Amino acid sequence: MDDEAERQGERPGPPPPPPRLFDGEALAPSAAPRRRFLAVLLAVALLAGGIGAALGASVIRPQAAAHPTRPRTAARPSLRTLAATVAAVEPSVVDIRSALSEGGAAAGTGIVLDGDGLVLTNNHVVLDAASLTVTTGGSASYPAHVIGVDPAKDIALVQIDGLHRPLAPAHLGDSSGLRVGTAVVALGNVLGRGGVPTPATGVVTAKGRSISASDDLSSKPEKLTGLLETTVDIQEGDSGGPLVDLRGRVVGMDTAMATADGGDAVIGFAIPINEARAIARLITRGRAGDGIVLGTSSFLGVEFPPSGTLLASAPKVPGAPIEGVVTDGPAAKGGLEEGDVITALGGRPVTSPDALQQLLLAYRPGMAVGIGYVDRSGRHTVTVTLGSTVK
């Protein structure tokens, strides 16, 4: 609500009716995937604790604490304004739960983009999922599938399957006009507890921030740029949820958090909604390329050591050394084990885990591919069938 209405004690009016996702454009129907993202699973051992351990996947944490560019003080919205803001946004917020391919589960949040169940969330919320369940209104649960993702931007588009009734689309604002000092509210599935989304208040402290981030399931840092920085207390499970202004307009998608100077003060980071909306538009139009990959993800089911780390049990040859394999995954079924080194995929040389990832992008789930590898007894070749991580 605007400050003038607050000062005069007027009842805040309802937010304007939410527009269609792309300012009046009809959404493209979900098409059969033309390209598939084949992910190599990481950090399987971190899931030993089940859902509790996996919840860290819901919030990517910057490796080094960032520093707010402005004082972290702002007037809190009145209880009436906060209640009105939450009421306007809550129907457009959903919980997302993923059953991970290697066991365990993770939880996050999503933003409803249209009445038919198109949902915006973070890529790391759906990464390495064997199946997805979306809960609407805190109670009704439905299966869902991934339409497409942009891993570099940490954005994913999910479609809810078998909806019983239309959902309320979020009112997407204009993040380009967002000013430092604007009061904002985040809603999300805090700690994966489900139910009514939990709000947290704060203020925008900077725009265009860049961070290096990683989550509890991956040791590889992720570079994210152009983010909104806020004082909102983003917590695990909030990832993918809306950051809104006091008129109930979504201005960002909550993505990461850090603590300032090692203390208790929290710094929240969000992807500007204009960027997320533009990527969602490309995904619905079937635009693969430029970082966007369409359809369900696939996996080989291997775990690699952190970049630059030598694996003592692996032969000293160029390639991708295997630190672990997913039980009953494609690699395990092909006989690959910890300590083996993958040296070729589909007849092309593999010089590193990253090189293997790039080669895998040319393949789809269910495809058979030849893998060359080296173990302590010599060189071998085996054919494996790649699996799907999100059905």
- List, by residue number, the catalytic residues: 124, 154, 239
Strands 61-62 and 140-150, by their bridges, are: unpaired
- Cα(269)–Cα(274) distance, integer angstroms: 15
Q: How far apart are CA 205 and CA 299, in angstroms?
A: 39
- One-letter amino acid at 155 equals I
- Do the Cβ atoms of 185 and 197 come closer than 8 Å? no
51: buried, middle or exposed (CB in 10 Å: 19+, 13-18, 0-12)?
middle
Answer whether 79's CB lies under 8 Å from 254's CB: no
Query: In angstroms, what CA-CA distances link 238 with 112, 114, 135, 234?
Result: 15, 20, 14, 6
Q: Which residues of 29-48 are buried (b: 16+ CB within 10 A; e: fewer)?
A: ebeebebbbbbbbbbbebbe
Residue 235, amino acid: Q
